[in-house]
Every structure is written in structure tokens, then in C-alpha cells.
Structure 1
Amino acid sequence: MHAGGGAAPSARQGGAPVDLARSVADYTSRFGPDRGYLHPGRADREGIAEAIGLLLDGHREQARRQLARRDFTVRTVLDRPTGHRYTEVADRTDTAVTPRGWGRVYLDLDHHPSWSVQVPHPVADHGTEQLGVRVLRGAPGGVLVVAGAHRASGSGNSADVAHRRDTVFHAICAELARRGLPGIQLHGFAASSAPGYDVIASTGAGSAGRREGRALADGLREHGFRVCRAWARTCPLEGRTNMQGRAADTDDVEFLHVEFSPEVRAGGRPAERAADAVAGVTRAWARSGVPD
């Protein structure tokens, strides 16, 4: 199942000029296991996710009002390196002494939303946040969802959003899946966890993304990466218990859970080659998500 996300947003202003990679780096630079995390109530989770849905449908002002009630801001930014415009949804408490850690979202403002790239463990999985920016820039119609805290912050595993349903991150990703937007979730593994591999590719709990998974694995191999294909053999870190993958499986939506080695996540040419391979999949999602 794959559907477009409704009408493209209608705001046409130029937006605040930024370097999206720098903005995300500045945002995540404050993350750490010693930073606080506030568990969101159900009303907050559902209200924020519903507002993201309003943005996808082009109801910007209604979404802005609803997000303001949850202490989130909405603005248009212009990514200077690419010339692309995005709607940025940000938590006002991000720069506070005790941030809530509820995350940030960037939505392509110039194309119909048709797929998502998800970063559940920024900083903890070093470099995945920057890889997420590269992936967003690689194809039209993307939605970047970045978790708002280090996975070890907060009480217990409360901020480990990949393994919990009661987070703003999960509520947003579940809303995207409910609307039929396929997603790719980026993770990082320690070199000792999968010796001999650069990437571990999986479709998570379901199999709807099997075709895209094969295409991604083939593309990564063509770029010189050693890939463990979880649908063909036993791999470590297959993401079968990933909650966003389970939500996508419930809605029969394509989902890819991809783990990258430290070398790939370090940036430079390896990260560029990995993002190029991912773009082969996200561009296809963008094409199939354009309304007739």
C-alpha cells in the first residue's frame, strides 16, 4: 500500500535561509544521556500527530494553531545549499534548561509529501541525524522526523523511541504510516556488532517493503558496501521489534530498517554514497506518490 499525503502545502513565501545540515547539527548538539526527557501525555501525542496530518493536507494555519497549543512552532525555511523549502515544526522548549525532548519535523514544502526518513536515535547512533538530512535532500516529497532526545535520557528507556509507542516520535510516524507514506528508518551499529558488514537492511516486522529492500541492498552493493539482507539470512539488529515498523506493518505500508556502520555514518564520501543508494528508493516512492 502506498498513497500520497494529500494536497501539497500552499504557503509560497521564500522562508528563513538556513543550512539544514547545520540547523539539525545545532539542534542535536545539545542531546546527551544526562539531559532530561518529559514523557508526553496521550493528548499531546495525538494532538501533535494530528497537526502534522493537517500540514500534510495543506491546512497550515489550522496546524499552526493546534501546534502552538502544544508549545510547538511552525515556520518555512529555505535550505541554502539546495534551494529547497521545508516546513519546520519545532518544540519551543528545545533551548530551555529542561527541554521536553519531543522532536522536530521537516516537510518538503514544494512537493506532495510521499515518504519519510526517520531518525530515532540522534547522537546516540552518531551521524544518523546528518545522514537523515542527506536522505531528505535526495528526493522530493520527503518528511524528516528526528527524535528530540538522546535514547538514554529520561527514566528507564522512556526516550528510546524506536521501542516505545508512547512518544511523540511514534505518534507522528504512525500518522504517516496511516496515511500510506512509506518510511526508511536510520540506525547505527558498532563495528563489533556485525563484522564483515557495512549495512544491515531489513523490512522490520513486516514484508511490505521487500521489493524496496532488495533495490536498496542492490544499490548499496553497487556503491561498494557489504550488505546483510535480513530477509535472506539471519542478521544482527534486524529491527523486528521496532515499533514504527510494527505500525507500518499494521497498515501494510513499506518500511525499511537500515543499520549503518560507524564508517558510513562518519560523513564524507561513504555517507554520500549511502545517501545516493537510498535515493534510488525514495525517488521511486516520490514518483509513485504523485497524485494522478
Structure 2
Amino acid sequence: MTALLHRTGGAGDADRPAPKGAAQIDLSREVADYTGRFGPDGGYRRPGRADRTEIAAAVGLLLDGHREQAEQRLSQRDFTVRTVVDRPSGHRYVEVADRTDAAVTPRGWGRVYLDADHRPSWSVQVPHPAFDLGTEQLGVQVLRGSPGGVMVIAGAHRKAGAGNSADVAHRTDTVFHAICAELARRGMPGIQLHGFAASAAPDYDVIASTGAGTAARPEGRELADALRGHGFDVCRAWVRSCPLEGRTNMQGRTADADHVPFLHVEFSPTIRAGGRPAERAAAAIAEITRRWAGKPVTD
């Protein structure tokens, strides 16, 4: 499927001054402050169908370059849009955020960061921030590592809300899923980051899977090879039976239905703890995401 995306930046954009009024932030700190409020007793309200549809459609308008229309539609759903400059990387992103994030009872509908310097062409998805500790920071490193990325972060702890209503990886009635489905509809490949307990797979550092589909099998092999090259032991779900293969993941199922590459990757606590292991994992992922962005791996 051909991605119908608008290029939000052009040649030489990296040398442009920041847009007037753009907030100067450290994206890793911003995300840490955001997800640091999440907990199993935190707020989560199940969105209605109209909420999910309108928010996802507005993100699509942003991808198509129709920011004013997107802002109007998002504002009607109590979401804000702003341009931010990530000081450590110098990259510009468009942030889509829920206005209720700082409220006493937040809805927990999530946040999105879109590359404002390059045509968005792939996504990194963080469905269980604060529950799969460190995946949100790994997501930031992955977003920074390649041009054209879109990072989608769930807005609540996996155990927040009634039942499993906030477990966005296994539900379709969430804002997170609606946005990821919109990206898949546009042909954008995605990588979803998870974490496993050391006891769940003691012989491995990473469990790599293509979820319910096979469209990302070539990228899966390349990623597993790259991770191995960085010193990690990888369980390849297309070769042998692995725990936590993500075959019931709903974003993966949606991507499979659209014949779009999707990678479901589980990381050990050591990698998710940050430092050099996380940097090496992000570097391995960049070998895939840079191809998705149409950039040479060694560029």
C-alpha cells in the first residue's frame, strides 16, 4: 500500500531556525515527566467511537500537511498541538497531547510526536509505558535515531481503568489503536516496543516477532542480525517457539490486514534500564527504521 503522506520539511530544513514560539525541550525528560505520573490507580476513561475516529483523522490531517484543520478537530476533542525542538538532538517534532494529562482525573488517551523536518514514513509504538519500564525512553531513542518517525505513546498504565480497558496492545477501542490503525492504513511500517521479566526468557536479551503477520519478515531478520551484531541474544519467533510472540497484538493484526510491516519486539530489563545496552539496541533498530525512511544505514 502506498503511503499518502505530506512532506513536512525539505532539503536544508535542519539548518533552519526553530519556528517562532516553538518550545525548547529535552524529549526524554518531557516523556519521563509525562509517563512518570502513570500508575495502576491512575486515571483512564474509555473513549467513545467518535473520539477515536476524530483524533485519528486529525493525526492524518497533520500527516497530510493540514495543520490548521487538524488543530481545529483536535481542539474539539481537548487535544493540543505544538511544535517542539528537542535540544539534545536539534530535531523538531509536532506534539499532539491530551489537555487532561495534568488534570486530577486524566483520561489517559496518549500522546504523539511527529517528525517536523522530514516526511513521516514509519512509527515507533509504546503501548505499555511505566508498566514495561524503560520502553518509553527506548522509544525516544528510536525516534531520534532516524528521520521520518512518528512516536505513539499510550496515555495510561496498563492496569489503569476498569478490567483491561487501558491495555491498548490488546484492544481496538482506544485512541492509541485508532492512531496506529490510521498509520497502517497509510502504509507506514511500525515497530512496537515491549519488555519482559528476566525470568520469562532467561536465555535471551530480545524476543523479536512479526506479530500476527509476515510482511516484516525481512526486516525482522535484519533486526535480529543487527541486535546480534551488537552483542544481544535474540529469540526469533519465525524460527522457533518464543515466549511473548505478540501474535494476539491488535496493532499487529491491523497492520497484517493492511499488508504493512510490523515488528513486535520484547526487551530484557537490562536493555530497558538505559545506558549503553539501550543505546546499542536503539542503534540496531535504526538500521531498520532508516531503511523505512529511505535513508542509507551508514548516512
Q: TM-score range by the shorter chain?
A: over 0.9
Amino acid at match of 2:294: R
How far residue 4 of structure 1 moved from its aligned partner, in angstroms, is 3.8
- How many Å separate the matches in 2 of 1:32 and 1:272? 26
Does residue 77 of the first structure (1) align with residue 76 of the second (2)? no
Which residue of the other structure, out of 89, 96, 100, is the alignment partner of 2:107?
Answer: 100
Counterparts of 1:1-292 in structure 2, within 5 Å, are 1=1, 3-9=2-8, 13=19, 15-287=22-294
**Secondary structure in 2 matching 1:287:** coil
Name the aligned partner's letter for residue 50 of structure 2.
A
Cα deviation, residue 13, structure 1: 1.5
CA distance in 2, matches of 1:121, 1:23: 17
Contact 1:5 1:114 (8 Å CA) reproduced: no
Structure with more contact order per residue of length (Cα contacts < 8 Å, sep ≥ 6): 1
Alpha-carbon separation, structure 2, partners of 1:170 and 1:70: 16
Change (3 A) 1:182 1:51: same
For the residues of structure 1 that align with 2:89 and 2:193, how far apart are their CA atoms? 22
The CA deviation at 1:5 is 4.5
TM-score w.r.t. structure 2 length? 0.94
Secondary structure of 1:111's counterpart equals: coil
Which string of whole-angstrom CA distances, capped at 9 and with x for unpartnered residues, describes residues 78-124 of structure 1? 00001100000000000000000000000000000000000000000
Gaps of 5+ in 2: none
TM superposition outliers: structure 1 runs of 4+ over 4 Å: none
AA at the equivalent of 1:13? P
> Any unmatched runs of 5+ in structure 1?
none
